[in-house]
Chains A and B, each alone.
Chain A
Amino acid sequence: MLVNNEQILEALWETVYMTGVSFAFSLLIGFPLGILLVVTRRGHLLQNEAIFKVLNVIINIFRSVPFIILMVAIIPLTRLIVGTSIGTSAAIVPLVFYAGPYIARLIENSLLEVDKGVIEAAQAMGASPGQIIFRFLIPEALSSLVLALTIAIVGLIGASAMAGAIGGGGLGDLAITYGYQRFDTLVMVLTVAILVVLVQGVQSLGNILSKRVRRS
Chain B
Amino acid sequence: MIQFEGVTKTYQSGKQEIHALNGIDLTVETGEIFGVIGFSGAGKSSLIRTVNLLERPTTGRVKIHGKDISTFTSKEIRTTRKDIGMIFQHFNLLNSKTVFHNVAMPLILAKTPKNKIKDQVKNLLDFVGLADQAEKYPDQLSGGQKQRIGIARALATNPSVLLCDEATSALDPQTTQSILDLLRKINREYSITILLITHEMGVIREICDKVAVLEAGKVIEQGTVFDVFTNPQQPTTQRFVRSVMNDELPETLLQQIQNAGSDHSIYRIQFTGTSVGRPLISQISREFNLDLNVLFGNITELQGTPYGNLIVEFIGDRPEIDRALSAIRKSDATVEEVTNYAS
Q: Which A residues contact B (CB, under 8 angstroms)? A: 115, 117-118, 120-121, 123-128, 131, 135-136, 139-140, 142-143, 213-216
In the assembled complex, which residues on chain B have CB atoms less than 8 Å from the CB atom of A131? Answer: 109
In the assembled complex, which residues on chain A have CB atoms less than 8 Å from the CB atom of B81? Answer: 123-126
Given A121-B153, A123-B81, A127-B78, 13 more A-B residue pairs with CB atoms under 8 Å apart are: A118-B94, A121-B92, A123-B52, A124-B81, A124-B84, A124-B86, A125-B86, A125-B105, A126-B157, A131-B109, A136-B94, A139-B96, A216-B96
- A29–chain B nearest beta-carbon distance, Å: 26
A214 vs B94: C-alpha distance when bound (angstroms) = 11
- Checking A125, A128, A142 against B106 with a beta-carbon cut-off of 8 angstroms, the contacting residue is A125
- B216–chain A nearest beta-carbon distance, Å: 24
CB–CB B109/A127 < 8 A: yes
- A179–chain B nearest beta-carbon distance, Å: 45
A123 vs B82: C-alpha distance when bound (angstroms) = 10
- Checking A135, A214, A216 against B105 with a beta-carbon cut-off of 8 angstroms, the contacting residue is A135
> In the complex, which residue of chain A has the Cβ closest to the Cβ of B84?
A124
A54 vs B104: C-alpha distance when bound (angstroms) = 39
In the assembled complex, which residues on chain B have CB atoms less than 8 Å from the CB atom of A123? Answer: 52, 54, 81
A125 vs B88: C-alpha distance when bound (angstroms) = 12
A126 vs B107: C-alpha distance when bound (angstroms) = 11
24 contacts between A and B (CB under 8 A): A115-B92, A117-B88, A118-B93, A118-B94, A121-B93, A121-B153, A124-B81, A124-B84, A124-B163, A125-B81, A125-B109, A125-B154, A126-B81, A126-B82, A126-B106, A126-B157, A135-B109, A139-B94, A139-B97, A140-B94, A142-B96, A143-B96, A215-B96, A215-B98
Count, chain B residues at interface, CB 8 A? 31
CB–CB B92/A120 < 8 A: yes
Q: Which B residues contact A (CB, under 8 angstroms)? A: 52, 54, 77-82, 84-86, 88, 90-98, 105-106, 108-110, 137, 153-154, 157, 163
Contact residues of A: prevailing secondary structure: helix
